[in-house]
Amino acid sequence: MPLIDHLCDNLIENNASDLHLLQGQKPKIRLHGHLKTLEDEPVLDKERITQMLSEICEPWRWEKFLEHMDADFAYGLGERGRFRVNYYYQMHGMGAVLRTIPTKIQTIEELKLPDVVTNFAKLRSGLVLMTGPTGSGKSTTLAAIIDYINTHESRYIITIEEPIEFVHPNKKSIFCQREVGKDTHSFADGLKTAARQNADVILVGEMRDYETISLALAAASMGTLVFGTLHTNSASKTVDRIIDVFPADEQNKTRTMLADTLRGVCSQMLLRTKNGKGRIAANEILLATQGLSSNIREGNNANIRNIIMAGKSNGMQLMDDAIEKYLKSSQIDGEEAYLKANDKKRFMQYAKA
């Protein structure tokens, strides 16, 4: 049995989200957002961490890690659990983070997401962006949306991920799940191939460069439903990020394409519950309207906040409104609301002196 497996079992048993391994330190787990040292475990010296990491990594991937100094892949313990793995180097040597991937794909209802999220799954074309910081549950929410399509629609769905996190069984839909670095060289290469496969739905695990974003926009404009993720924390910043990736002489064209294809943005963050025993998702929702298209086309991204406020009856909401709702229902405390809010002044009374 690989040396790391008992630590993975510890993660599962404690319902923790992450396992942190750093050369020269004891292993740590992240439990409800807090790091906890596993005091009964030995310090990870060079020999131990090298054995621990190399045992669960294919030889070709291990060689690539030693050469490029980082690696991403998924590791499974059969039916017991599955983990997203990131290897890296730091000033004291090797390090790794293993993040728990739920073995069961939760539904939109089980995740307690806003009802309007279901509408994204019912679209036939266009671009839907899922955004938020690392570890905010973007992949879990997207998996729920894709599972809704799989349960209710007969469609050909391609996912391009690094690594593959949730493994989708074929229900009504047919899946082609491809892992960057293993099944395709890059997100961009995967998108080029997907365009030739007549896919109904494409999920792009990360839209982080000019070529990937450009190809995703092109696929959406040609009638495919494209889901993508970005590391932004609000709808307006998401639109800014998409536009800013392009050279200045291409930005007007990009605004037009984005105005025509963007169907919605769902920004997400996890909030620590008041009892300290879990976390809940807060979402900012932006839906496509004629006003949104006009503002994107004209470069008035600052007006997106007003569009969301005006669209509350249609299911749109600002992140701070979602946070305030949780605060008023006593699901989170004031300090957590203040720390996670975009508009700190709104929750200033809860700030610690």
Are residues 204 and 288 located together in one domain of the fold? yes
- The reported pTM is 0.87
Domain with residue 71: its CATH number is 3.30.450.90
Mapped onto helix, strand or coil, the DSSP state of residue 97 is strand
Residue 144 lies inside a defined structural domain of this protein: yes
Cβ neighbour number for residue 353 with a 10 Å cutoff: 2
For position 103, what pLDDT does the model report? Answer: 81
Q: What value does the mean pLDDT take over residues 131-157? A: 95
Residue 32 lies inside a defined structural domain of this protein: yes
> Strands, DSSP E only, in the chain?
18-22, 28-31, 34-37, 70-76, 82-90, 93-101, 126-131, 156-161, 174-179, 201-204, 225-230, 262-272, 279-287
For position 135, what pLDDT does the model report? Answer: 84
Task: Choose the final residue of a domain: 50, 74, 101.
Answer: 101
Task: Choose the final residue of a domain: 74, 101, 128.
Answer: 101
Question: pLDDT tens across 241-270, in order?
Answer: 999 999 999 999 999 999 999 999 999 999
Residue 349 lies inside a defined structural domain of this protein: no
Phi and psi (nearest 5°) for 322? Answer: -65, -40
Are residues 56 and 122 located together in one domain of the fold? no
Question: pLDDT tens across 189-237, in order?
Answer: 999 999 889 999 999 998 989 999 999 999 999 999 999 999 998 999 9
Are residues 150 and 22 located together in one domain of the fold? no
Are residues 39 and 140 located together in one domain of the fold? no
For position 333, what pLDDT does the model report? Answer: 94
Which residues have C-beta within 8 Å of that of residue 60, sequence separation ≥ 6? Answer: none
For position 155, what pLDDT does the model report? Answer: 97
Could you give the CA distance from residue 35 to residue 25 in angstroms, rounded to a whole number?
13
For position 353, what pLDDT does the model report? Answer: 57
Are residues 12 and 138 located together in one domain of the fold? no
Are residues 23 and 64 located together in one domain of the fold? yes
Are residues 63 and 127 located together in one domain of the fold? no
Residue 72 lies inside a defined structural domain of this protein: yes
Sequence letter at residue 179: E
Residue with tokens 């992140």: 319
Residue 16 lies inside a defined structural domain of this protein: yes
Residue 339 lies inside a defined structural domain of this protein: no
For position 5, what pLDDT does the model report? Answer: 94
Domain count for the chain:
2
Q: What value does the mean pLDDT take over residues 15-31? A: 94
Are residues 175 and 298 located together in one domain of the fold? yes
Domain with residue 161: its CATH number is 3.40.50.300
Residue 112 lies inside a defined structural domain of this protein: no
Are residues 12 and 68 located together in one domain of the fold? yes
Q: What residues make up the domain containing 71?
A: 5-101
Q: What value does the mean pLDDT take over residues 25-43? A: 93
For position 1, what pLDDT does the model report? Answer: 85
Residue 229 lies inside a defined structural domain of this protein: yes
Are residues 29 and 94 located together in one domain of the fold? yes
Question: pLDDT tens across 265-319, in order?
Answer: 999 999 999 988 888 999 999 999 999 999 999 999 889 999 999 999 999 999 9
Predicted confidence (pLDDT) at residue 28 exceeds the cutoff of 60: yes
Are residues 163 and 284 located together in one domain of the fold? yes
Are residues 97 and 121 located together in one domain of the fold? no
For position 244, what pLDDT does the model report? Answer: 94
Question: pLDDT tens across 46-105, in order?
Answer: 999 999 999 999 999 999 999 999 999 999 888 788 999 999 999 999 999 999 988 889
